[in-house]
Chain A
Amino acid sequence: MKFMQLKIPTLGLLLLTATLSATPALAATVTYNLRADLGSITMPDATVVPVWGFADDTAGANSGTVTVPGPQLKAAPGDTLVINLSNRLTVPVSIIIPGQRLIPTPTSAGGRVMSFANEVAAGATSALTFTPLKAGTFLYESGTNHASQLPMGLYGPLVVGPGVTGQAYPPTATNAGTTYDREEVLLFSDILARFDKTLNKYVTYNSDMVAGSNPNIANYSTLYYLINGKSFPDTLTPGVSAPPGQRTLLRILNASGHNYMPEISGTYYDAAATPQPHAFSTQVIAEDGNLYRFAKPGVAMVLPAGKTLDAMLDLSGAGSQGYYAVYDRRLGLTNASKFPGGMLTFVASWGPTENCSPFKGDVNGDGRVDLIDVILTLRLVLSGGYNANADVAPVSLSGLPCGNGAAGGALTIADALLLLQKAIGLNSY
């Protein structure tokens, strides 16, 4: 998704930035046009869930599509972020960004707070300004009756930075590992539902909200567990990539009201006889946009509701390819109570010229590896033809069908044999 960004350097902000940080970039005003509106998302089991979310209206009023999470906003440290928020919902809405400067302008109704700040009435449009921006990973989210509105989908990620290319935060003497080669955003959230005995099916919190009832959140439990608005296996498209030899910054956010536990399958394979112990390591380097004094290594991360973490997935010492699971250790691994699903995705770790996908071998693209794929491959072997998807042998020492495509690529009987083993269940790769 691309966004038009208006960068207007201003003298005042320039000075402000200069005093706040040593960021060499010019402070700019970054403007986004967002619309809060009704939309829907579809779960892997084809359930359609109505949502309230944010849409990117850069191309014109009401032009964008509501997504959950909302569009990823980007800006540089010291920038001024202006969000022109158009509210097409029937209730007031707002945007706050915990961790960024907020001018408190609360509104109330019935003697109780409605919005913490930045309220935009139903049908209205307002320019919301956040300045100066602090570097890091942040959630932008509704600050209006948020216990009610956040489960509907009114949240998204804001990435501020890097101030210096490839450097998540200015490194410190004790937390020097802030440089990265590539970054991925993983935003965790969920969909709540109740089981309706009369209808004999789950009814989502969102459906009840859209239907105009005033649901009590206590009556709902989590039915779908989402990463970037998707449940497994939809999370694999496009999925997460972290090539060996590189450092990948995972920007991890939790927009839900529950506490989750992302765990990266920390097993690591290296063909060398004396593997480096930290060849695969995950280090949480920052929390809520604040660089830790010391990075925290570990295989699992505590991700409470509303929290953001920056985790460095360091494969710079990794000697082999891998396909590493990222999953919620609190077992949010189901779609409507069925495994597999939920907060589960994989980190594809292989080089740019390689393809080690465990889904290789589906030569005819029918969604499975079977005898037809074996026959098609055999034909190619006999005719001297090539299909990268059938190039599965040799299997890497980590057990992935990397093939030899990177080394020139030709199909041999070994590929067909391996596919045959796969098709009849003798080999899982």
Chain B
Amino acid sequence: MNNSKMLWRLLLVALLVVASPICKAHAMINGLTGTSFNFTAKSGHITAGDGASLLFWGFADTSPTGSGVVQYPGPTLILREGDTVTVTLSNQLAEPVSLLFPGMTMISSTAPVFNGGSKAKLSSLAPEALPNGTQTYTFKATKPGTYYYESGSNQPIQLRMGLFGGIVVRPATYKALPLPNVVPYGLNAFADPPANTTRHPQVRTNYNDSTGIGGVAYNPSNAGDLTTAYDREYLVIASEMDPDFQKWMEFGGTYDLSKWRSNYWFFNGRNAPDTMDMPNSAVLPTQPYNTMPLAHPGERVLIRLVNMGQEFHPFHHHGNHSRVIAVDGNLLSSNPAASGADLAWLAFTETLIPGKTMDTIFTWTGANLGWDIYSDSPRVRPYEYMADHGKTYQPNILPAQPQTTPPVPTPALKLPPQAVPVILPTIEQIIAGANYSGSPYLGMSAPLTPGEGGFNPLNGYFYMFHSHAELEITNNNTFPGGMLTMMGIVPWPDPALGPLDNLDPATDMYMP
């Protein structure tokens, strides 16, 4: 992977991690808030990961405070449960455009449009804005969750062209919860919710911080229900394009729609490596949203997944399983009033399905590795796994057998070693990646061959989040690219350097 452009973009990753103002812009979902929105459908061009310029149709925020720039995907709407929302659509395209809001409670008309009343002349699945016309949609955001809007007109063309966007509906209890802002970590931090114990050092969370970036994805069942609580959230909208189709739309010629074949794959309208560039990047004016999740060990990262393409995309995240807590804005619960997300499942690959959304919570701690990701440091770190640390507590990594009584730690069993239990190859034997610190330990570094590594200033661990249909991590015949980003686990600050509350309250990111 010696793509120079990739390295350049990764430099930006490094900047993101170091510079707190950028972090602040990052650890949240970019989008529009409010209850009244003005969209204009028009065409523009995006820049693909390989530099190609592609025609697209999208929506621009043409409210008085909006950018007016058409974007791919359309502006993300960030709403509150119970809001009555108005979207006024103006159409600068040459064909009718309409909007569907699946999962919303529509207040304005939902009647489809058949030109001349003829069955064969279906124009739109919902009231439409004619070319140079407008149409207004009113709906109530009845339920919290992750949703989308999309064109209901000429969908085989318009959805392939990009007329869609994401919707996040925050629960009424978003920032007004009786949830603990401080939870214990250590041995019991892996319970869900964390077990009630004060034996261990504690970590400040974002769940209920009125100024912070955390919250809950759904209304908790009770004061102890942390199953949808998160510290950081990200939105990932998947889509794809066939460059031949986009060229045909722009320049004409012959094209057979039945032969449509995607060769660009997008997260939030960008191909890798641009997925890892900053949001609102000046070099990507029509692609304002990035995909660059960052977190500390133990933090709950809510990833809202939306597929606006027409293909299935297996979303694979390295590092750990995710907990899928909701589908299509429906909490996976046997009883939302009492049980939290008790029908959630764990997965290392979640297939993104056209027209569906999924909310997942990803947490990484490095637990149970059999060695200590912090090496032999005498200090206990936030979310450090005691058994791996192997010093203070009785290890509970025993390969326990099923039994009705608690297992008794067997003295004969060897304690797990604290250090990496193998001799790693020398730097001459390896080709190191840009995100490798040179050290196997979190927060530590070691020299690498000049030209390798270097894009990991806080010595975090990085995990590829990508489509596991690996063809989809290319850009029109060039590897790497497509649906790919690197998720960063950034070490917590060393407690010895000061209390955790010294973190930037908006981002909770450690600043060196």
- Please report A residues at the B interface, Cβ cutoff 8 Å: 44, 174, 193, 195, 221-223, 232-233, 236, 259, 261, 263, 265-270, 275, 277, 279, 294, 296-300, 302, 322-325, 327, 329-331, 333-334, 336-337, 339-340, 344, 346, 358-362, 367-370, 397-400, 422, 428-429
Contacts and interface: CB of A to CB of B under 8 A. Distances in A.
B374 to A, nearest CB: 41
Most buried by A among B128, B139, B154, B155: B155
A74 B204 CA distance: 61
B119 A195 contact: no
Contact of B120 (A233, A302, A334): A233
Given A223-B258, A331-B155, A358-B112, 14 more contacts: A174-B334, A265-B125, A269-B107, A269-B109, A275-B142, A277-B105, A299-B328, A299-B355, A300-B353, A327-B125, A333-B156, A360-B117, A428-B113, A428-B128
B140 A193 contact: no
Given A265-B125, A300-B328, A368 B109 contact: no
B328 A370 contact: no
Contacts of B327: 296, 298
A193 B155 CA distance: 22
A261 B351 CA distance: 13
A233 B116 contact: no
A270 B140 CA distance: 11
Contacts of B156: 331, 333-334, 339
A351 B354 CA distance: 32
Given A267-B106, A323-B112, A193 B120 contact: no
Interface stretch (B96-104, B278-286, B393-401, B448-456): B96-104
A236 B104 CA distance: 26
A268 B355 contact: no
B155 A300 contact: no
A337 B256 contact: yes
B110 A233 contact: no
Interface in B84-136: 100-114, 116-123, 125-128
Given A232-B122, A340-B122, A368-B116, A331 B103 contact: no
Contacts of B107: 269
A159 B139 CA distance: 38
B258 A267 contact: no
B26 interface: no
Nearest to A282: B328
Contact of B126 (A44, A267, A298): A267
22 contacts: A223-B258, A261-B356, A266-B102, A267-B100, A267-B101, A270-B105, A275-B105, A275-B142, A277-B143, A294-B343, A298-B328, A299-B102, A300-B356, A302-B356, A327-B125, A333-B156, A346-B112, A368-B118, A398-B111, A422-B117, A428-B111, A428-B123
Question: What bracket does the count of chain B residues touching chain A fall in?
Answer: 35 or more
B239 to A, nearest CB: 12
B109 A398 contact: yes
Nearest to A300: B355
A267 B126 CA distance: 10
A337 B114 contact: no
A330 B311 CA distance: 7
A339 B115 CA distance: 14
Most buried by A among B117, B143, B152, B259: B117
B120 A268 contact: no
A325 B100 CA distance: 11
Most buried by A among B102, B114, B125, B355: B355
B503 interface: no
B140 A331 contact: no
Given A275-B140, A300-B328, A370 B116 contact: yes
B310 A358 contact: no
Contacts of A275: 105, 140, 142
Contacts of A324: 110
B105 A268 contact: yes
Which 3 interchain pairs have the tightest Cβ spacing?
A399-B109, A399-B111, A329-B355
Contacts of B127: 399, 428
B355 A358 contact: no
Contacts of B108: 399
